[in-house]
Amino acid sequence: MKSYRRARLSGIIFIGFLVLGLHAVDAQQRQSDSMRLKQYLRNKQIADSIEQARADKFKAYKSPTRMW
C-alpha cells in the first residue's frame, strides 16, 4: 500500500514538473516571438520612412517649380 502511494505521489510530482517545464518553454517562445515581431515592425517603419523620403525627393525633382 505504501509503495502504491509513493509511486502515485512520484507520478504526480513528475507530471507537475513536466507541466511547469512546458509552461516555461512556451513563455520563452512567446517572448522570442514578441521580440521578433517588434524588430520586424521597427525595420518596416525604417524602410517605410526611407521609401517616403525617396518619394518626396523624386516629387521635388519632378516638380516644375524647383529652385535649382
**pLDDT one-digit tens code per residue, 28-55:** 888 899 999 999 999 999 999 999 999 8
| For residue 59, pLDDT beyond 90 | no
Q: Which domain holds residue 44?
A: 32-58
Domain membership of residue 63 (yes or no) is no
With bands split at pLDDT 50, 70 and 90, how would you rate the model's confidence at 2? confident
C-alpha distances in Å from residue 33, one per residue of 22, 28, 43, 55: 16, 9, 15, 32
Give per-residue pLDDT as tens, 6-25.
999 999 999 999 999 999 98
66 and 60 in contact (C-beta within 8 Å)? yes
With bands split at pLDDT 50, 70 and 90, how would you rate the model's confidence at 61? confident
Count of domains for the chain? 1
The verdict on pTM exceeding 0.85 is no
Domain membership of residue 20 (yes or no) is no
- Where b means 16+ CB within 10 Å and e means fewer, 6-39 reads eeeeeeeeeeeeeeeeeeeeeeeeeeeeeeeeee
Question: Both ends of the chain: CA-CA distance in Å?
Answer: 97
